[in-house]
Amino acid sequence: MAPRFETRAIHAGCPPEERTGSVNVPIFQTATYAQSSPGEHTGFEYARTRNPTRDALEENLASLEGGIGSTCFASGCAATDAVLHTLAPGDHVISVDDVYGGTFRLFDKVHRRHGVDFTFVPAHDAPRAIAEALRPETRLIWLETPTNPLLAVAPIDEVVGAARSVPVLVDNTFGTPYLQRPLEHGATLVLHSMTKYLGGHSDVVAGAVVTQSPEWHDKLRFVQNSVGAVPGPLDCFLVLRGIKTLAVRMDRHCDNAEALAEWLSGHPQVRQVVYPGLSSHPQHAAARRQMKRYGGMITLTLDADLEGSRRFLTGLRVFTLAESLGGVESLAEHPAIMTHASIPADQRKARGIDDGLVRLSVGIEHLSDLRADLEAAFDRLA
């Protein structure tokens, strides 16, 4: 019987090191490798191309997502950029409209200038909207599910069907391979900002792409080596360390988020709570089909203007006011001012990212302390 997820998270790609027996994968802090004669080497010649610590992480990630291989990068944005580098001027990408602000910036302000065209479609109606937006020159479908920051859920299998053989990429940063495995639902590519839940401790920046396609794997390896936006060996070591506890951390993230979402739903100072695990979520049925649990992210709309949102956020003490997400510590942020400020104001408003919108990354602290902290911030808001 194949090892279960929790076992593979600890052992896949990470056997004891051969020479010393080191149980942990060593940090191979080297730039180059000795060759026995010109062109004859152990498979390692230059660290941009391969590094043993990075090899271990890439094998581990491929195992967790069910891919044939993965490619790691210096950040989630670098991973996104690498995928876009496989496209050519005149190619067309369909993306859901609710995406991380850095993703939108890369699409709209960088690669659009290089001749790639982008169409943004409603995330909540992705299969129908994608089918209508397809063109002969469409080369990629880009999904976040759940999306950032509005937590819309796209049914991956239905999107794959609507794509009519166009490759589908799923940004699985919020889901993680513990909660959701897009390749099992027909996706071609899975992208992670490993800065978030995979690293899990807010101490590393890294990204990755996993695939079941040998052709895509070869293309991404070529871009990885050519462009060189690779993570250093210490970064890879830190992500590997984080992944070892991914399963137990995600269960605690989910426990806390589920309880807080239910409580916030009845709070008089909250207009709306969006959490895929709530039966009130418009795509709850799709989340239930494709996710093991519903994650650690909650989006809520305060009954407040911008100044009220500031008072609420600056009143938090256990939740830290900071960008990013997915660490063991709870974070809160204001998308319109912080992570999604690169999206024009009229587009933010059209997508529902207004002045009262707050995104919570629920950590693994004690639930009672998190609830008390939020209640104290609501008192400050009042």
Residue numbers annotated as active site: 48, 100, 171, 196
Both tokens of residue 43? Answer: 């498979």
What are the structure tokens assigned to 159, written together?
């999107």
Residue 334 burial (CB < 10 Å; 0-12/13-18/19+)?
A: buried
Structure tokens at 276: 């895929």
Amino acid at 18: E
Q: Using alpha carbons only, what angle is made at residue 362 by residues 173 and 184, rounded to the nearest 5 degrees?
A: 30
For residue 89, the tally of other CB atoms under 10 A from its CB is 9
Alpha-carbon gap, residue 369 to 374, rounded angstroms: 9
